[in-house]
Amino acid sequence: MLLRSISRRLLIGLIQLLGLTIAVFFLIRLLPADPVSRLVGMNASEQAYAQAQAQLGLDKPVLEQLALYLGLMPGTQPGLLQGSLGISWVTNSPVTSEIAAYLPVTLELITLAFLLAFVVAVPVGMLSALNPGGRADKGVFVYSLFAGSQPEFWWGLLFVYVFFFQLGVAPAPLGRLSPMTSPPEWVTGFILIDTLIAGQPAKFVEALHHLMMPVFTLGFVLSGPIIKMVRQNMVRALQSDFVLYANCVGLPRKRVARYALRAAMAPSMTLIGILYGFMLSGAVLVESVFSLGGIGQYAIRSVLAFDYPAIQGVVLVITAISLLVYLALDLIHAAIDPRIAH
């Protein structure tokens, strides 16, 4: 039953991805932009222009371009069906391998940031709901006043100033490792995993040290909405009939709090999922502050250069990850709340 519903969701996800790919394919080409002249320059000869256009395949009819991209024309070049996202027009290297280089940076950063935010925000939100007007609740108010009203890059800069420049406990915001260290052999792209695979604990610690500030910054900003959501859902759960009844039968305070937390977590998971999908590209500001080349930066670069295959690749990958995250969260949601039928 569970497996069937998962595979059904995955199948629907694939169809969604295909639809999105085709939509994005046409939408990009509707942009009032000329990627060829962007590549060859404004002063290029007509001949050079035509040559570049032919090289990019832009001289062919649009439907043929789509078929090529999808990999429906065997014997020409590998397409989506063959697992290729095409060749970047700017760098001439496969989009797949470029995304494989950029994506893990972002995934690592935001996954850790979400873990941090989750671990901090859920108990804080819960405490502030259990004792409205109490110390935790007041703290939350002050925090959300500040954290919520300032952009994350500003917090990043502030933390760099305090922890690197003033206190010296954080490393310089210059990437995932210090510039003097050679990176470990590329296996997964996740530096924490790769250093462990390579058996270099010193580098693992160094990578962790470098991740500390960006993760903290992002976690700091992300905690705000999560705390609010948990608090609000928890307050609502505490007023529900079943919590009242749990008090009526004299369950211990702790058990009642657990009842309410579980009821509050189910809807909060939805917000966390949406935030995660959003942060895949939304973490770009924090990544820039700490010189981490993430998928967001790759996306911006591609858009500015009209690098069609790269844009398509980024959209596709981010969507695919978001869909997987939503699926995972729906499964968690169903595990928390049995009323959610598969």
Partner 1 sequence: MNTPVNTPLSAPLIEVRDLQVTYRTDKVATRPVDGVSFAINPREVVGLIGDAGSGKSTTALALLGLARPPGRITGGQIRFDGRDLLTLPDTDLRDIRGRDIGIIVQNPRASLNPMLRVGRQIGFAYQAHNPATEAEARKQAVEMLRMVGINDPERRAEAFAHELSGGMAQRALIAMALSSRPKLLIADEPTSGLDVTIQAQFLDQMWQTVQETGSAILLITQELGVIANYCDRVLVLHDGRIVEDAPVRQFFDAPAHPYSQEVLGLRRSADAAAPVREGTAAPLVTLDALTKHFPLRGSDKVVQAVDKVTLTIGKGEAVGLVGESGSGKTTVGRCLLQLVPPTSGRIAFAGSDITALPPTEMRALREKMQIVFQDPFDSLNPRWTLAQILAEPLKIHAPASAAAHRTRAAEALRLVDLDPALLDRRPRGLGASTLQRVNIARALILNPEFVVLDEPTSVLAPRARTSLIGLLARLQAELGISFLFISHDLTTVRYLCQRVAVMYLGQIVEQGTVEQVFNNPRHPYSQALLSAHLFPDPTWRRVDHPVREALQGEIPSPIDVPKGCYLASRCPHAVDACRAVPQVLEPLADGRNLRCARVVKGEV
Point out which residues bind partner 1 (CB under 8 A). Answer: 239-242, 244-253, 255, 259, 262-263, 266, 336-339
When the beta carbons of 4 and 253 are compared against partner 1, the nearer one is 253
Q: At its nearest, how many Å lie between partner 1 and the CB of residue 134?
A: 15
3 state SS of 72:
coil
Q: At its nearest, how many Å lie between partner 1 and the CB of residue 342?
A: 14
When the beta carbons of 58 and 251 are compared against partner 1, the nearer one is 251
Residue 333 CA: distances (Å) to CA of 15, 89, 117, 123, 259: 24, 42, 19, 19, 15
Three-state SS for 117-131 is HHHHHHHHHHHHHHC
Percentages (nearest 5) of helix, strand, coil residues in the chain: 75, 0, 25
Token pair listed for 123: 């108990």
When the beta carbons of 263 and 318 are compared against partner 1, the nearer one is 263
Q: At its nearest, how many Å lie between partner 1 and the CB of residue 15?
A: 23
Q: At its nearest, how many Å lie between partner 1 and the CB of residue 246?
A: 7
Burial tier of 146 (Cβ tally within 10 Å: 0-12, 13-18, 19+): exposed
Output the CA angle 230-148-141, nearest 5 degrees: 60
Largest pairwise CA distance in the chain: 86
When the beta carbons of 197 and 244 are compared against partner 1, the nearer one is 244
Q: At its nearest, how many Å lie between partner 1 and the CB of residue 133?
A: 13
When the beta carbons of 96 and 128 are compared against partner 1, the nearer one is 128
